[in-house]
A and B are shown apart, each in its own frame.
Chain A
Amino acid sequence: MTLEQGLFGFFALIAVASSILMVTRKNPVISALFLVLNFCALSGIYLLLRAQFIAVVQVIVYAGAIMVLFLFVLMLLRPAEEKSYFKDRPQQKFLAILIGALMFLQIIYSIFFAMPGKMADDARRVEIGTIEFIGRELYTTYLLPFEAIAFVLLSATIGALVLSKKKMD
């Protein structure tokens, strides 16, 4: 077993276990912390894929900013403990797990019957992940989508302002 395979197994195991624990824990704060762990494991997997920039962004933006915001909301608002909704109707949980298993089988089927394309060589793979390459492509080839996402963010900001203002009145 090479080092790469060992690291992949380690990070994948952490990601799978933390995602399962995140869904099954009752306390929302604990499940938020498991989601942070899942994001950190994912950033390790991005490093294995030679996507350095995205691995750093994953830790800074997702684990550092978004999840801390979630944790602030959870700790300040203190939502009530989830009611034991499934005590009365366990069939809904069963159905949810059944739908999940069916979707998983469907995705696995489509993975193994997809058409393979042209593989990249290793030096090229290292180059794709660098910040220079991504920046150059982002501001030349993909300039129009970049401006479009700026407008999406602007509309989200305006929406947040409008909604919070209506609540204050």
Chain B
Amino acid sequence: MIPLEYYLILSAFMFVTGVTGVLTRRNAIVVFMSIELMLNSANLTFVAYSSFFWRCYWAIVRIFCNGGGSR
């Protein structure tokens, strides 16, 4: 079984990549896509926590994030 920290580190790396993209890119659409990347890394954290700590709460939060993300 893979420990929880691996998922969290992957999520942190994706989030930081998104932050760097927002800070460096000029194109508005690419900045928006970097923000999508950050949203997805947060979702990965939620799903990892909900899978490891048998609470449905974060899975539900992730669905709401998806609803906010689809606009």
User: Which residues of A are in contact with B by a Cβ distance under 8 Å?
Assistant: 4-5, 8, 12, 15-16, 19-20, 22-23, 28, 31-32, 35, 38-39, 42, 45-46, 48-51, 54, 57, 61-62, 65-66, 70, 73-74, 79, 82-83, 85-86, 92-93, 95-97, 99-101, 103-104, 107-108, 111-112, 117-121, 124-125, 128-129, 133-134, 137-138, 141-142, 145-146, 149, 152-153, 156, 160
CB-CB under 8 A from A5, the residues of chain B are 2
Write 20 A-B pairs (CB below 8 A) sorted by A numbering.
Answer: A4-B2, A19-B18, A22-B34, A23-B17, A49-B47, A54-B43, A62-B36, A79-B29, A82-B27, A85-B26, A100-B20, A108-B12, A117-B53, A118-B53, A120-B51, A125-B52, A128-B50, A133-B56, A137-B56, A142-B60
* Min C-beta distance of B52 to chain A, whole Å: 6
Closest B residue, CB atoms, query A150: B67
Size category of the binding interface on chain B: 35 or more
In contact, A82 and B51 (Cβ under 8 angstroms) = no
Q: Are A28 and B2 in contact (CB under 8 A)?
A: no
Chain A positions within 8 Å of B50 at CB level: 51, 128
Contact B33 A86 (CB under 8 A): no
Given contacts A42-B40, A65-B70, A138-B60, contact A22 B21 (CB under 8 A): yes
For B33-71 the 0/1 string (1 means CB < 8 A from A) is 110110010011001101111101001101110111111
Count of A-B residue pairs with CB < 8 Å: 170
Give the distance to chain A from B65, nearest Cβ to Cβ, in Å.
10
Q: How far is the CB of B25 from chain A (nearest CB, A)?
A: 7
Please name all residues of chain B whose beta carbon is closer than 8 Å to the beta carbon of A62 when the two chains form the complex: 36, 40, 66, 69
Q: Establish whether residues B36 and A35, one from each chain, have CB atoms under 8 Å apart when the complex forms.
A: yes
Query: Bound complex: CA of A34 vs CA of B71, how far in Å?
Result: 22
Assembly CA distance A18 to B34 (angstroms): 12
Q: In the complex, given contacts A16-B14, A65-B70, A118-B53, what are 8 additional A-B residue pairs having Cβ atoms less than 8 angstroms apart?
A: A12-B10, A20-B17, A23-B18, A51-B59, A119-B53, A120-B52, A120-B54, A152-B67
